[in-house]
Structure formats: C-alpha cells, structure tokens
Structure 1
Amino acid sequence: MSLCLAAGAVAVSLGTSEITLSWRHSVQKTLWEEVWRAGPDGVTLVEARIQGSGAGMEAPPDARLVDGFWRWTPQLPPQREVVMRRSGATADWQVCIAGRCRAMAELVPPEADPVRLTACG
C-alpha cells in the first residue's frame, strides 16, 4: 500500500506508505507537522507535532515536548482522504519522505487546489 497525491486529473504515487506533511501557520509562523500512513482502511494520522502555540494551534494536554516540538498521537480514525488547500498566501506544503522534504509543487502543479492525499495501489 502506498500514498498518492491527487490534484484534478493528476495523480502521483509517492512510492512510500508513510509521509510527513509540514507547513507554517500563516499568522504565528509556527511549524506544524503531521505523519500520515497508508493502510487498508485509508490514511491514518500517526503523529502530530507543533513547535509552539497560539492562534488556534494549541497542543492537547497529552502532548509531550521532545526535541523542540509538542508531539501527540491524535485519536482520529483512518480517513478515506486528506484534503489540503493551497491559498497562495503562505508557503507551499512540504512533503517529507524518509527525511527528505520538498515543496508539494515539485509533485503536483503549483496552481492545483485542492490536493488530496489517499492510500493507493
């Protein structure tokens, strides 16, 4: 099982079952990261982490501070898809595979909005 990005008529297999999505909050400029894994029931959020808080980015009470990030395991069932919007008002999403990060625009057209993350193949 792999993860795929879909944007309009474009679908790209990421060739891995786990990725980290990363972005900066538009107001706080705080880094937020989420680890997603493909499985038979869809995509599962394995871990969420933020570097700070504010403007609606509060870590939950069970979060722990590790290496400068508040980390926790969200209690969210597997999702059929994760929909990501690209406003153009902030830097593009970062897609990280095995520690190598790149802008989503390197994978799907920069003007593509929305982009969907799904389990595939």
Structure 2
Amino acid sequence: MAGAMMLALADGGSFTLEWTHSVEREDWRETWEVTEDHRLHLTEAAVKGSGAGMEPGPGGHFEDGWWVWAPDLPPVPALTLAASGETPSAWTLCGEDCTQLGATSGQPVQVAPCPDAG
C-alpha cells in the first residue's frame, strides 16, 4: 500500500488518540485497547471543555482539567479518521511513541488492529 503507515499493537495493547474539536476548539482524548478478538474498544474519553457535541458522558467527573468518563460502547473493527487539513490540529496517536495523522488534506486514515502483532 503506497503511503501507508502501520502501528502494530498486540492484543491487550492500548493507545490514545487526541485532537482539537473542529468547532469548539477544545481538546478531546480517547483511550483505546485492542481486544483478544482483534477489535478496538474505547475504554475512556476526556474533553477539556464542553460545548456542541462535547458533553461528558454518564459518570463523567472532573480530573486534572479534563472531564473524564468511560463510554459504554461495544468494540469496533476499525476507526476511520478524516484528513481534511482544515481542522485546528492533526490527530495525535500515541502508543509507545506518538505520531501525527491527517494534518494535511488527503484520504481518511484507517486505524485497525493487526492480528499478527505481538
């Protein structure tokens, strides 16, 4: 795949995804883990402020300047991140290291578990 980037996470591995909300201009952070059946499970979400589409979920509490909660959502096979180049920030994906995704206009970025990782 031309221009593809791979970040391999073994089952049970986790990563964070952080960005600035395009309308409210507030930081948003999600923590994901790779399940044993090679899916992605959102274990925690956090926002620096509130506004349109940014209300903390049930059980949300204020911690170190962030509204933090544990979404009750089923695991998903993959994430698709838009890459418009028009938002206030790139997506920052951090596992062992951090990398910027979708900072410039281009094809959406697909984040999915790699069954052969680990």
Name the TM-score class by shorter chain.
0.7 to 0.9
Aligned equivalent of 2:47: 50
- TM-score relative to the length of structure 2: 0.81
Aligned equivalent of 1:20: 16
Whether 1:113 and 2:107 are equivalent positions in the alignment is: yes
Segments ≥4 residues shifted beyond 3 Å: 109-112
Q: Quick one: higher RCO (CA 8 Å, sep 6+), 1 or 2?
A: 1
CA distance in 2, matches of 1:55, 1:37: 27
Could you report, residue by residue, the CA deviation over 1:63-102 in whole angstroms, capped at 9, with x for unpaired residues?
A: 011111111111111111111111111121111224x533
Closer, same or farther in 2 for the Cα pair 1:12/1:111, shift >3 Å? farther
- TM-score relative to the length of structure 1: 0.79
The structure richer in strand per residue is: 1
Give the CA RMSD over aligned residues: 2.3
Deviation, structure 1 residue 57: 0.7
Aligned length: 111
Q: Secondary structure at the match of 1:119?
A: coil
Counterparts of residues 29-40 of structure 1 (less than 5 Å) = 29-40=25-36
